[in-house]
Amino acid sequence: MTASLPRAAGFGDAEVGRHDTLTQDCTSQATAPADPSFLPGPVLLLGAPGVGKGTQAQLLVAKYGIPQISTGDLLRGNIARGTELGRKAKAIMSSGELVPDDIVNEMVLQRLREKDVERGYILDGYPRTLEQAKFLDKTIADPDFLPRLPVIAINIVASQDQLLKRITGRRICPKCKSIYNIYTNPPKVAGKCDCEGAELTQRSDDTESVFMQRLKTFEAQTAPVIAHYRALGRFEEADGDQDVDAVNAAVESALFQLRERAAREVSA
């Protein structure tokens, strides 16, 4: 059974700290060693709420030994450390405003100067707008930014009906945080955690109305970014209407195809 993996926090995302995967396990699993034979480079992983993007990101992180860069994590980290960028962001957020692109861009660029990104990284929550995408592409084209490969974008897609079942059917153990789904992965005893025996809970925002609003927001925000990378020939889709392993195989297939395509363009 596939272990439940935490979804990384997205910048301004209502799903901070929650889980996307539909399965659970009472035991922990060891992280696989990094695969040194392939250079993944920067990967923008996209996906609607409930599609399992967080799970797939963690599988890539484990296999290739690359970091997942979440703008939500960067924002919280800068605020916690009291950096200049963090102080600016906190003041803006305290006034109820959105943190502007220039601050978000600078946080991301500082992170991309760290050594652990040399083989690649998974981008989560950034670029979220066309302007951010163009800024990122232009900036990392500078030879100072490793691994000297362009961003590729992979969008995990699933039917609306499937996504709705994943969201509204999700139940969580308040003790061990195991994830169940009443439609696809129910507990052995209805309403009870297999591991702890505790009463399972449902998040207040795991409702159809909230899901539909978040889906509309996702589609509106990502449409320009998808169009941008599609026009550059650096975009593929992966079928998310499958189990975790099959989706992972589709994501990795798209990753290899995009990197091979980019290599051919460079050598041409």
The residue from 7, 18, 214, 234 that is catalytic is: 214
The residue from 128, 171, 234, 259 that is catalytic is: 128
Active site residue 203: yes
Measure the CA–CA gap between 208 and 165, rounded to whole angstroms.
9
Active site residue 188: no
The residue from 88, 203, 230, 261 that is catalytic is: 203
Judge whether 202 and 169 are in contact, CB under 8 Å. no
Kindly report whether the peptide bond that precedes residue 174 is cis, defined as omega within 30 degrees of 0: no
The residue from 170, 171, 234, 259 that is catalytic is: 170
Active site residue 128: yes
3-state secondary structure of 160: helix
| Parallel/antiparallel/unpaired status of strands 179-181 and 170-172 | antiparallel
The DSSP code sequence of 117-148 is GTTEEEEES-S-SHHHHHHHHHHHTSTTSTT-
Kindly list the distances between the CA atom of residue 100 and the CA atoms of 104, 107, 132, 266, in Å, as whole numbers in the listed order.
7, 11, 10, 34
Beta strands in the chain (DSSP E): 41-47, 68-70, 120-124, 152-157, 170-172, 179-181, 235-239
Structure tokens at 137: 């592409």
Measure the CA–CA gap between 30 and 65, rounded to whole angstroms.
13
Measure the CA–CA gap between 108 and 114, rounded to whole angstroms.
10
3-state secondary structure of 252: helix
The residue from 7, 18, 53, 119 that is catalytic is: 53
Active site residue 53: yes
Q: At what angle do helices 101-112 and 84-94 cross, to 10 degrees?
A: 150
Catalytic site residues?
A: 53, 128, 170, 203, 214
